[in-house]
Amino acid sequence: MRQVLVITKRELNAFFDSLIAYILIIVFLGISGFFTWLYGSDIFFTGQASLQPFFSIAYWTLFFFIPAITMRMIAEEKKTGTIELLLTKSVTDWQVVLGKFFATLLLIIITLAFTLPYYITVWSIGPIDHGAVWCGYLGMIFMSMALVSIGLFASSITNNQIVSFLLSLFIGVFFIIIFDVLSNNFTGSFGQLLSYLSLSTHYDSISRGVIDTKDLIYFLSITLGGLILTESILSRRNIVE
């Protein structure tokens, strides 16, 4: 566990020492803030004391934001060769993967924490439903976990960051849009399966304020699946033919 913590801390520090992290966070907050407060179906337009406008836009901004963070996580280390250095230390592949996973997740949680002024403002101007807001944030964190593990997997199979970014978007787009759209065109159990696979079904379910074990298991399964795949890609070098 200590090794995981060390890697998490190092990764997080490296993030905040690079300009790219700030640019990403500012773009995320800028787009989310713009559509939450200034344009489209923003909070004053809907006239409701609810953070729902923010949650629906964050669903999309996170989809782009997370691959942009995860793309360099492993790909860059592979390219520069530092991954060899890291893996020859007394850490297991799992500890490396988990360390990088938690670092990214923490970065996203910190970014989301910067949107707490939204919550405080809406709280002060109307009867907000606190339970629904916290569930909305929880939903975003669970969704981030799934997307981060997909992003790490994409980053582990290539040493090109752009390829990693596009690959992670490509896998993500299935869970974010394609399953959802397809499920509306199919009937019966195949449609049910597609609807279950779609991330939006589960995200919407949590962000309305209800925590369902179904949704938790879904998000944790995708996260775990992605991490296991990442780990097995990393451990490929140990395979004896």
Partner 1 sequence: MLTKKKVRITLLLIFGVLILLNIIASKFFVRLDFTEDKRYSLSDATKNILKNLHDPITVTAYFSENLPPNIAQVRQDFRDLLVEYANKSGNMIVYEFVNPNETQESEIKAQQAGIRPIMINVRERDQIKQQRAYLGTVVQMGDKQEVIPFIQPGAAMEYDLSTTIKKLTVKNKPWIGFLTGNGEPSINEMPQLKEQLDILYNIDSVKIKADSTIPEKFKTLVIISPKDSLTEGQFTVLDNFLARGGNILVAYSAVDANMSTAMGNQVKSNFGDWLKKKGIEVDKNFLIDANCSTVMVKQQQGMFIFQTPVKFPYLPVINSFAKNPITEGLESVMLIFASPLKFNSLDTSIKITPIAFSSKKSGTEKPPVYFNAARSWSSADFTMGSLPVAAIAEGKLAGNKNSKLVVIGSGQFIINGSGQNAQQLEPDNVNFVSNAIDWLSDDTGLVQLRTKGVTARPIDPSLEDSTKTLLKYLNFLIPIFLVIGYGIFRYQMNLKKKNKLISENYV
Whose structure tokens read 């929880």?
A: 138
Q: At its nearest, how many Å lie between partner 1 and the CB of residue 162?
A: 25
Q: Which of 33, 60, 177, 200 binds partner 1 (CB under 8 A)?
A: 33
Report the largest interatomic distance among the alpha carbons of the chain, rounded to a whole angstrom. 66
Stretch that binds partner 1, among 60-68, 94-102, 170-178, 210-218 (CB under 8 A): 210-218
Q: If binding means CB under 8 A, how many residues of this protein chain bind partner 1? A: 66
Closest CB to partner 1 among 166 and 211?
211
Q: 209 by DSSP, 3-state: which?
A: coil
**Considering the rule CB under 8 A, would residue 40 count as an interface residue with partner 1?**
no
DSSP calls for 87-135: HTSS--HHHHHHHHHHHHHHHHHHHHHTTHHHHHHHHHHS---HHHHHH
Closest CA to 149 of 112, 175, 181, 111: 175
Do the Cβ atoms of 195 and 179 come closer than 8 Å?
yes
- Spell out, one character per residue from 114 to 153, where the chain touches partner 1: x when CB under 8 A holds, - when not: xx-xx--xx--xxxxxxxx-xx------------------
Closest CB to partner 1 among 16 and 170?
16
By residue count, the chain amounts to: 241
Stretch that binds partner 1, among 97-105, 143-151, 155-163, 194-202 (CB under 8 A): 194-202
**Considering the rule CB under 8 A, would residue 49 count as an interface residue with partner 1?**
yes
Do the Cβ atoms of 201 and 192 come closer than 8 Å?
no
Closest CB to partner 1 among 2 and 189?
189
Closest CB to partner 1 among 162 and 217?
217
Closest CA to 66 of 139, 197, 165: 165
Question: How far apart are the C-alpha atoms of 110 and 52, rounded to whole Å?
Answer: 20
Closest CB to partner 1 among 34 and 162?
34
Closest CB to partner 1 among 90 and 185?
185
Stretch that binds partner 1, among 25-33, 74-82, 142-150, 151-159 (CB under 8 A): 25-33
Question: How far apart are the C-alpha atoms of 237 and 159, rounded to whole Å?
Answer: 15
Question: How far apart are the C-alpha atoms of 113 and 141, rounded to whole Å?
Answer: 11
Q: Which residues bind partner 1 (CB under 8 A)?
A: 16-17, 22, 25-26, 29-30, 33-34, 36-38, 42-44, 47-50, 114-115, 117-118, 121-122, 125-132, 134-135, 183-188, 191-192, 194-196, 208-214, 217-218, 221, 224-225, 228-229, 232, 235, 238-241
